Each structure stands twice: as C-alpha cells, then as structure tokens.
C-alpha cells in the first residue's frame, strides 16, 4: 500500500521523530507492526499506564511507566528499533522530557531508530518541530471497509444466525456509504445494522446514511444532506442541465479508462432565491453521489491554528468520502475574505488561500458546487479556470422557466398544473425568482385554506400582485451582476 510505503521511506530516511494524529490506536499499532516486520525492526509500545513493552509481549520493561525513564530505556537499547509513544505530548510541559527527546535525536539520525508520537490531537514544542516528520493515516479504503464488513458479519454469525441479503452491487453501494468512517465507526455501524435487522440487507443502506449524518453532526463542519430533488424536478436551468447530463457517467471506472478525468466542479453566480442551492442537491441525487455541505462559519475557532486544522479535517473527510458532491454556499459571506486580512490577523486570508490551493490541486473526485450572490466580493483568482470547470450565471427565470417552476411546485403539492392558467401566472410573475414563486404558491395555499376553497390561478395572481420581488427591491445590484456575467460566465437558464 502506498501510505505504508511512505511511512517506510520516512523511517529509512532516519527521521528521529514522527508525529501522527489519529484516534485509531489499534489500527495504528497494526500498521506500525506491519511496517516493523517489513523493515525487520523490533517494535515497542509505551503508554503511561502500561510502561514500555515489546509488541506482542505481556510484560513491560521494569520501572518504565514514567515517561523520562521510558525514554532513558529507549536511549540505552542497542541496535535499531521502532518505538510508539502514546500521548507523550501531555508531558511536554516538563522541560526534561523535551530535552531528552532533543538529546536522543542526534544518535537516532545515525540509524533506523524512530520514536513515533501519537495522539488524537498533537501539538509539538518549537524545539521538536524541526526534528519531527508528520504522517497522516488515511481513513479505511473501500477494500478495507469490505474486509471490515465481512469480518464483523463473520464474528456476529458465531453468536446468532445472520442473513446476507445484498447483491454484489448493493454491497458495493453499502461500502461507498461507509466512506469517511474510521475502522471503529465502520465496525459499530455494521454491528448496529445487523443486530437491528438480523441481516445485512438493503435497509442497511439508509441506516448508513443516518449514522453518517450523526457522525458528521458531531464534528459540526461538514453536514450530510439528503438530496431530495432530481434535475427533472428543478424548473429551468436548461444549459446547466445539458452540461451536467454530459458528465453524469464521468465518475464511473469506464470514464477513467476512456481517458476522462472526473469533473471538478462549478461556480454558480446569481440572484438570491434563483435556485443555486437547489441545483447542488439535484446534482447529488441525479449522479447518485453523497452530498456534503461545508458549514464554513463553523471553521473559525478562537484558538490559534485550530481554524486551519478544522478546514484541513473537512477537506480530508470530503476526499475520503469521494466520489461525492461538496456544496459551499454563499462563499463570499462564509469566508469573509478581505485582501489585507488585517481585521482578523490574516486568518480569513490563510483560510481562503488554503481553500484555493485545494480547489486547484485536489486529485480526489470531489465535485464542488460553490454559490455566490456577490461577485464583487470574490477575488479574481477564485474565478480562474482550473479550480472550476465552468462558471454559470443563474439569471431570473424566463417566462417558459416560470411556467415550468409553477408546474413543478404545484405537482409537489398534489395539484394538477393543467388546472391552472400557467401563461397568466408566468406573465404575472415577471421578475420573480424560483423561491419567490414557491412562496407565492405556499401563501396561496394558506389563503385558499382559510377561505375553505381550492387553490386557483386567481388566488395565485393576487399573491403575486401583493409581492415586491428582489428584481424590484434590489434592482441596481441585480443589474450590476448581470452586466458582469454577460461576458464572463455561461448562462445557466
């Protein structure tokens, strides 16, 4: 595996310290044991509760629980070795611990002796940062998740009968929905599903979605959304729909064999309420991909460095769940970009810069749908080709689009569009966005219900007449946006 090869190269390159952030201690131990076996190195593990002991041994080295004594034992050992120290960072406030690590480093550089520092969150003192390499353990791959699923089912089968009611394609889909889980989370999810149903069946697919929602909600940065609409249920957007239809199969293995790279994403500019967010949900459902929404307002943390870590974690999670759709809504508001970055000591500028770099350099098949209502607040480097496949301008819907939007929302509310005068409704809603048309229908339903009458074209027309759309209240802004997009973006409608 390529990640293990990278870790072996770090050890072979005589790094004295390697820092690894992970909450999967058992998995880390197995990985290091595999690397140690491959390199023919003895492997030792230390924690404050067990002391220092060789991997697989039941007994620890005498009087090695105190961190300084454990490090002294490591320094006194002849020959090469791989040493995992769990949570040693909690003792970095003691000068003797940091000093001892610095003292060990020169001799460790001479051969393959490496101390691996691990913790769920790990921050190194300045003295150790120049000595340590960092390594990231990826979340389980699809193949690993398949192995985990089979192992858990086999273990449960020893306790009770377990039915397997999944076709091969369904099994692959189940694994796809588990992407982004740690090993422990995957084990718990499979166990919960099997114990609830007494089988591994298609009902487990929806169970995985709910479990994933709960896990992402705990992190608070990425939100897992249910893509409720498909493109056929979204009125208008003819050009955008045609563009997306050409790329529907681009995430399939056949596309890669054909020489196609996965599409990177689109930037949607337009009027508020014109349906930009709706499109992101529809794309995910149409392409049968998970839909993630980045809660960018939750990226920011009062502690130095935590905001950047939150962004890295969110981007890494999106990559592990790929192929997927990642929605970043109203980017200009969420990231509060300012060219100087002086108002927040440059934090927003660093966050924005990292996001730009990821949009440009990412290789994972994450289709990014970014929306914006004010192009003037976005820097020019964001709109450069390469970060997005295309920039679409979502204008106010045309008369035909408005007829389609009325039909879509009436059908959703169990009304037959043929019973309404769609031509009059389209004429009466000139300048309205899709959201404003939807709201007019909802208001009309309230009016009809209060009168104990059925919804009619006349009621809807009255609701339209009583509304001042954004095209009137914010005419200057919309005109400026249209003028900018005329020569710089592709019309979505």
As a whole number, the mean pLDDT across the chain is 86
Gap between the Cα atoms of 365 and 375, Å rounded: 26
The reported pLDDT for the residue numbered 335 is 58
Structure tokens, 369 = 């749908």
Closest CA to 308 of 362, 264, 357: 357
Most confident range, picked from 47-61, 146-160, 279-293, 348-362 = 47-61
Structure tokens, 211 = 């479990």
More confident residue, 227 or 170: 170
391-426: pLDDT as tens digits: 898 888 889 989 999 999 999 999 999 999 999 999
In the chain, the percentage of residues whose pLDDT exceeds 90 is 40
The reported pLDDT for the residue numbered 133 is 93
83-122: pLDDT as tens digits: 999 999 999 999 999 999 999 999 898 889 999 999 988 8
Exposed e or buried b per residue across 353-364, where buried means at least 16 C-beta atoms within 10 angstroms of its C-beta: eebbebbeebee
Structure tokens, 35 = 């690397």
- 3-state SS of the chain: helix, strand, coil percent to 5? 55, 15, 35
The DSSP-derived string for 186-215 is: HHHHHHHHHHHHSEE-THHHHHHHHHHHHH
Q: What is the mean pLDDT of residues 118-141?
A: 90
Structural domains in the chain plus CATH codes: 2-135 (3.40.50.300), 142-219 (1.10.8), 231-394 (3.40.50.300), 399-473 (1.10.8.60)
Structure tokens, 210 = 């709910």
Burial class (CB in 10 A: 0-12, 13-18, 19+), 309: middle
pLDDT band at residue 457 using 50, 70 and 90 as cut-offs: very high
Structure tokens, 376 = 């003037």
Q: Is the pLDDT of residue 385 over 80?
A: no
Q: Is the pLDDT of residue 205 over 80?
A: no
Contact 22, 28 (CB under 8 A): yes
Q: What is the mean pLDDT of residues 283-291?
A: 84
Strand order in the sheet with 43-47: 51-54, 43-47, 81-86, 113-119, 17-21, 132-135
Q: What is the 3-state secondary structure (H, E, C) of 391-455?
A: EEEECCCCHHHHHHHHHHHHHHCCCCHHHCCHHHHHHHCCCCCHHHHHHHHHHHHHHHHHCCCCC
Helix axes 434-450, 457-465, angle to 10 degrees: 120
Sorted by sequence, the CB contacts under 8 Å of residue 214 that are 6+ apart come out as none
Closest CA to 460 of 439, 474, 475: 439
* Peptide bond connecting 323 to the previous residue in cis, omega within 30 degrees of 0: yes
The reported pLDDT for the residue numbered 458 is 95
The reported pLDDT for the residue numbered 302 is 61
Closest CA to 270 of 388, 371, 374, 394: 394
Q: Which residues pair with 291 in a beta bridge?
A: 225, 325
Gap between the Cα atoms of 205 and 214, Å rounded: 15
Tokens 């939100």 label which residue? Answer: 223
Closest CA to 420 of 440, 406, 405: 406
The reported pLDDT for the residue numbered 229 is 65
pTM above 0.85? no
Closest CA to 275 of 173, 185, 397: 397
Q: Is the pLDDT of residue 216 over 80?
A: no
Burial class (CB in 10 A: 0-12, 13-18, 19+), 290: buried
Structure tokens, 411 = 């059908």
Gap between the Cα atoms of 487 and 95, Å rounded: 62
227-244: pLDDT as tens digits: 666 676 677 788 888 899
- Helix locations, 24-137, DSSP H: 25-39, 67-76, 95-108, 126-129
298-316: pLDDT as tens digits: 777 665 667 888 888 888 8
338-375: pLDDT as tens digits: 454 455 556 777 888 888 888 888 888 899 998 888 77
Gap between the Cα atoms of 387 and 356, Å rounded: 8
Tokens 């192992």 label which residue? Answer: 151
27-68: pLDDT as tens digits: 999 999 999 999 999 999 999 999 999 999 989 999 999 999
């Amino acid at each position: 595996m390529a990640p293990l090869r990278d870790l072996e190269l770090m050890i072979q390159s005589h790094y004295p310290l390697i820092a690894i952030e992970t909450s999967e201690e058992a998995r880390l131990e197995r990985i290091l044991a595999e690397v140690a076996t491959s390199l023919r190195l003895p492997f030792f593990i230390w924690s404050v509760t067990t002391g220092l002991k060789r991997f697989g041994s039941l007994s620890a080295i005498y009087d090695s629980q105190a961190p300084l004594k454990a490090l002294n034992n490591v320094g006194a050992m002849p020959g090469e070795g791989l040493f995992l120290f769990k949570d040693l960072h909690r003792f970095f406030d003691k000068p003797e611990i940091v000093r001892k690590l610095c003292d060990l480093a020169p001799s460790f550089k001479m051969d393959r002796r490496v101390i691996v520092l691990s913790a769920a969150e790990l921050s190194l003192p300045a003295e150790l940062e120049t000595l340590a390499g960092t390594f990231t353990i990826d979340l389980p791959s699809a193949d690993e998740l398949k192995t985990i699923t089979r192992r858990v089912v086999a273990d449960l089968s020893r306790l009770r009968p377990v039915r397997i009611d999944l076709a091969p394609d369904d099994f692959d889909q189940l694994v796809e929905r588990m992407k982004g889980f740690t090993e422990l989370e995957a084990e718990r999810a499979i166990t919960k599903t099997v114990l609830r149903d007494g089988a591994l069946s298609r009902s487990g697919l929806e169970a995985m979605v709910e479990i994933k929602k709960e896990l992402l909600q705990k992190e608070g940065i990425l939100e897992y959304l249910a893509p409720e609409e498909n493109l056929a249920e979204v009125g208008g957007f003819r050009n955008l729909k045609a563009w997306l239809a050409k790329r529907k199969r681009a995430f399939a293995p056949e596309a890669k064999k054909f020489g196609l790279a996965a599409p990177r994403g689109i930037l949607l500019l337009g009027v508020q309420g014109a349906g930009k967010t709706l499109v992101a949900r529809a794309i995910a459902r149409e392409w049968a991909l998970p839909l993630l929404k980045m809660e960018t307002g939750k990226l920011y943390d009062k502690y130095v460095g935590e905001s950047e870590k939150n962004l890295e974690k969110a981007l890494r999670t999106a990559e592990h769940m790929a192929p997927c759709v990642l929605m970043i809504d109203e980017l200009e508001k969420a990231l509060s970009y300012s060219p100087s970055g002086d108002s927040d000591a440059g934090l927003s500028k660093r966050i924005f810069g990292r996001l730009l770099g990821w949009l440009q350099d990412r290789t994972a098949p994450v289709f990014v749908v970014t929306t914006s209502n004010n192009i003037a607040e976005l820097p020019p480097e964001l709109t450069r080709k390469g970060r997005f496949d295309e920039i679409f301008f979502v204008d106010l819907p045309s008369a035909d689009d408005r007829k389609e939007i009325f039909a879509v929302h009436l059908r959703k509310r169990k009304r037959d569009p043929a019973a309404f005068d769609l031509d009059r409704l389209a004429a009466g809603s000139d300048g309205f966005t899709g959201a404003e048309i939807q709201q007019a229908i909802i208001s009309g339903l309230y009016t009809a219900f209060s009168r104990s009458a059925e919804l009619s074209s006349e009621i809807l027309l009255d609701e339209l007449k009583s509304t001042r759309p954004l095209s009137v209240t914010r005419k200057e802004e919309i005109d400026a946006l249209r003028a900018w997009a005329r020569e710089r973006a592709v019309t979505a409608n």
